[in-house]
Amino acid sequence: MPTDTEAEVFTSSIHFDQRLYRHDIEGSIAHAQMLAAQKLISRKEEKAIIGGLKSILADIREGRLRFAPGDEDIHMAIEKELTRRIGDAGGKLHTARSRNDQVSLDMRLYLRDETDQILGLLKNFKSSLVQLAKNEIRTIMPGYTHLQKAQPVLLSHWLLAYWDMIDRDDARLRDCRKRVDVLPLGAAALAGTNLPIDRLRTAGLLNFPAVSENSMDAVSDRDFVAEFIFTAAMIMMHLSRFCEDLILWSSGEFGFVEISDAFTTGSSIMPQKKNPDVAELIRGKTGRVYGHLVALLTILKGLPMSYNRDLQEDKEPLFDTVDTVKGCLQTLTAMSRHLKFNHVRMREEAAKGFSTATDLAEYLVMKGLPFRESHGIVGRLVAYGLRENKTFAEMTLKEFKRFSAAFEADALNCLSVENAVHAKISHGGTAEKMVLKRIANIEGRSDG
């Protein structure tokens, strides 16, 4: 009984997996070379197969060959076209392989290439953060906890905090790539093959440093896809946090940054508006990637060993994740290069809210007082300032001494936000010399 037409359309994946055409052909060429070396096909057949595959590749690239829904999937479509072009030799290409190990190979080849591209985009974004940090090395801003003013810091220090986040993403992605870089071809449907294939030769032709050790795992494993999407979700989370800060800072209430007109839009009704739409979209697309991760984990959680057709549903989440992360990284890198920070406003806000209170407490510690006692003294001093509507800078040394005899004239040095920032010389601190040291360390790394 022929397949129901609606069922045929329902199960077809050619409309989305055709983007794997290059990787499918790359894998097939290597497979044909191995088959010929093992005398499973003749050299004449190998030549015909490789020539036919290369001509199909060229026609797809040039738009001369298009696929129809009836082609089912990219693997069958290419094999059918190959057989049409070169005859029976085309049917020999599928010797010692199944679509199960073939699709896993295609996914790994695709993801390996895309991972390398994303690593390049991460490097570009990290470079833009370092350049901004160098440009803003003397810009002081308020640091926040709980979205409340906490202590003054350098804007460069804030920028390098995001550099560290993205650098961890870079490391995670490089580590993830190692588990992508395993050859599944040769596992066949699930049990391997009786035919005398040479999987190590195929691995060498495709630059895979490792070969899968269990044929059942090889065809059913999508851990590498889930791990990639998890890593992508982490990247997006960090981009979203960066965008959230820019969105807040570009508001009138903050006024810390101006985002270039090239990356904002106006309102359809309010002519005065300048909306940070690009940053908002990146923040919004983060949820999209999270959704893909949950979708894939849900697909995988109940699958019996080994291959199941459910695994066809891994591709659209993966493809959209790749496209989303690449698009967001490219756009945010470009946007970050055109940010204009309001140095005066940031400095003014950094001085507000008794932001040097901790510096005064540490001053008292240096005078020999226990930190808890120092904390209480400065806390009472802050309460006094709130009652009297005075900042630290507006208080006299006599007023300070009312709260502790340990205060001396040099205590007034703690009140400057510049002194407060540059006193933070602990490793990883916000002092200018520490930030410059960190920049030098980053620029001295071989991976940038």
* 290, two tokens: 């999270």
Measured between alpha carbons, how far is 379 from 381 in angstroms, rounded to an integer? 5
Measured between alpha carbons, how far is 302 from 300 in angstroms, rounded to an integer? 6
Q: Burial-class residue 436 by CB neighbours within 10 Å (0-12, 13-18, 19+).
A: middle
Measured between alpha carbons, how far is 112 from 254 in angstroms, rounded to an integer? 42
* 270, two tokens: 């309010």
Helix 99-135 / helix 315-336 crossing angle, nearest 10 deg: 10
Helix 99-135 / helix 223-249 crossing angle, nearest 10 deg: 30
In 10 A of CB 440, how many CB atoms? 9
Q: Could you say which of 15, 42, 251, 267 is catalytic?
A: 267
Q: Could you say which of 146, 268, 426, 427 is catalytic?
A: 146
Q: Burial-class residue 298 by CB neighbours within 10 Å (0-12, 13-18, 19+).
A: exposed
| 343 in catalytic set | no
**At a CB cut-off of 8 Å and minimum separation 6, what does 19 contact?**
110, 319
CA dihedral 429, 435, 439, 441 (to 10 degrees): -50
CA atoms within 13 A on the CB side of 157: 24
Omega before residue 104 within 30° of 0, cis? no
DSSP letter for 212, please. Answer: -
266 neighbors 309 (Cβ within 8 angstroms): no
Report strand pairing: 182-183 vs 148-154: unpaired
DSSP letter for 413, please. Answer: G
DSSP letter for 255, please. Answer: -
Measured between alpha carbons, how far is 340 from 349 in angstroms, rounded to an integer? 17
Return the closest-CA partner of residue 99 out of 262, 367, 307, 260: 307
The residues annotated with a catalytic role in the active site are 146, 267
